[in-house]
A and B are shown apart, each in its own frame.
Chain A
Amino acid sequence: MAKNQQTHRLKFAAAQLERDGARRPRCWYRHLDPSDGDCYAENAIGVHPHNQAQQTPFQEIPLARRKNHDELPEPFSGLDKWVPDWALPDSTARFKKRRCTSLAEIRAFYDALLPQADAILKYLSTRQLGTLTPPEGKLLKLMLSLAEMGPAIEWYGTENHPEAFDGRRFPLVVTLADMSPQPGAHT
């Protein structure tokens, strides 16, 4: 590896650490989710057992792609920093994220997204499922996380709701795809 490339790489990692400093120790493992096209989704909750060995702080993902991964459509680029932890593969991952994240962290995400949520949805309402660009897809996935986190803040406001039943006992067995067109649309 050329020396300047190495330096660039370390700088990037340092910036990443700084950015994440305020948050809990994060898992660096990135998981390529084949169901969502060219979408790197952060495995922010845990690591699948067969991937344990790959858990290493420096990932072999080309920097250019890594950068691209975090990009949202231009009007919403101020929210880029939420992409690694909150653009998740599917509904099951989002529910798990909610169960495994502190209320303070959920609130930080909620507070960051909510002021722009209506504008984002207006933007997304001009886009069709099945035709989203990677940045648009990330934007939708952030909003889907907001949909999951909404009740945590708006209904319960506590991590230990007394009637909270263990959600792992009631999993999704048929799930709605995040970004595919749905049967019956436009009829």
Chain B
Amino acid sequence: MNERLMKTPEITPPTLTLRYPELGTGPISTDAYWKPEFYAQELEAIFKRAWLCVGRVEQAAAVGDFFVKKLPTFDMSIIVARGKDGTLRAFHNMCQHRGNHVELRAQGHCVGFTCPFHGWTYGLDGKLVGVPDAQGFFDLDKSTLSLKQVALDIWEGFVFINLDPNPCQSLVEFLGTHGRDLEGYAFERGTAVFEYEGTINCNWKCMIDSFCETYHVPILHKHSIKDTLAGPDNPHGRLIDIRLKTPHRTMSVWGNMAYQPNPVQGLAFKYAPGPSITSGAVDENSVLPKGLNETRAPNWSIDVSAFFPNWLIVMGSGMYFTHQMWPIAPNRVVWQMRGFLRPAQNAAQRFGQENSMVELRDAVLEDCNTLERIQSVLDQGLLKEFLYHDHELGLRHQYHVVKQWVDDYAKARA
């Protein structure tokens, strides 16, 4: 056997799905990807009950700092504010008098919130502190008129909320081993933040699916990332591994260690503040948590960690980015992609950052026309079933988890 073949790590054979016999191997009904009745159930059973990521602690680091997160799914506005006691709290952005938003800025610093309609004022802890001309009201009890609080908890610096007033699980329970296995990653070092946002005409789950398999990489991304995430030693874009930590999952993505970058790209790798995702480089100084590249494969590039229901972290050893999908209709989704790069230590590294940002955007935009074409076919009711490859296990898993949450909720209410 020649030396190269001996060195080439073996590509994972098609047996991943067989590890999870409860998921089966058959075709999957497409009903969940376009039917309005199912969509309505998803909102109630999932989006009003699961923990949803809304930001990072750095966005409200000091007492009096706040940020406002819009949840497109419910056309809802949530304030996250750090109180005088140092505690982060989340509130519905809603005055208790007539319902107007009390904070109109996206972020800032304040001593409290004043409704711009009639001037009712609330403290950072949400308590109603001032009502102009209060004696004109009847039986006004300020102590019962605080801003309506939303359950909030923090994991690794990420702020999660739960719209259920009495969440059935704590955040720790909800994240389970999936969360525990990723603890210790240097999330806080990604201080150079950028974000893209757009509305794509497809079901929210299809959008998530497009980042959960790399079977399409050698074909759809043939101009861009084919040679980094697939390549001659992995021509069909197989994954290294998939680990289901229901309801969450992680896909470990293969990387071409022999990749020779293009000229500008190569300069961007050289002058990057941390290893770029497509560079194949690994930050030797980073201690990777157990759950990142869990099989410790040498030919690893990134992990796609899917947090049920609508949040993904794509993690390399030196940078990461997140996708969040907010359904607004059975066939429309608001997609937010936020990048977290290491800060530029000099002016040249700003160039490396720009190229990372641009390549990431270009590559993910290649997925979007396909998604919209698929959705138009689904909306016509033409395609009844999806057939999943072994390495599309992540898609099969998402379907089963969503179905499970919807069914369990319906049963509990029956």
Give A residues with C-beta under 8 Å from B: 91, 94-95, 110, 114, 117-118, 121-129, 132, 136, 140, 143-144, 146-151, 153-156, 161, 163-165, 167, 169-176, 178-179, 182-186
Contact = CB atoms under 8 A, between A and B. Distances in A.
B262 to A, nearest CB: 4
Given A147-B264, A148-B354, A125 B348 contact: yes
A130 to B, nearest CB: 9
A42 B353 CA distance: 23
Given A150-B358, A155-B362, A176-B353, A129 B263 contact: no
Contacts of A143: 348, 351
Interface in B351-392: 351-355, 357-359, 361-362, 365-370
A187 to B, nearest CB: 8
A186 B191 CA distance: 12
B166 interface: no
Given A124-B348, A148-B354, A182-B344, 10 more contacts: A110-B264, A124-B350, A125-B347, A127-B348, A146-B351, A155-B362, A163-B220, A170-B197, A170-B198, A182-B191
Interface string B255-293: 000000011110110110000000000000000000000
Contact of A161 (B223, B343, B344): B223
A171 to B, nearest CB: 7
Interface of B: 189, 191-200, 220, 223-224, 262-265, 267-268, 270-271, 335-338, 341-355, 357-359, 361-362, 365-370
Nearest to A177: B350
Nearest to A150: B264
Nearest to A149: B264
Given A184-B343, A186-B345, A170 B361 contact: yes
Given A114-B263, A147-B268, A155 B191 contact: no
A170 B365 contact: yes
B351 A169 contact: no
19 contacts: A91-B194, A118-B270, A125-B348, A128-B346, A146-B351, A150-B265, A151-B358, A153-B264, A155-B223, A163-B369, A165-B368, A167-B361, A170-B198, A173-B336, A174-B338, A175-B194, A176-B193, A176-B353, A185-B344
B192 A182 contact: yes
B348 A185 contact: no
B365 A164 contact: yes
Given A91-B357, A114-B263, A147-B264, A172 B347 contact: no
Nearest to A170: B198
Given A170-B198, A182-B192, A185-B343, A144 B350 contact: yes
A174 B357 CA distance: 12
Contacts of B196: 170-173
A147 B354 contact: yes
Contact of A127 (B200, B223, B343, B347): B347
A122 B348 contact: yes
A126 B362 contact: no
Contact of A167 (B263, B353, B365): B365
B49 to A, nearest CB: 28
Given A144-B351, A173-B197, A127 B346 contact: yes
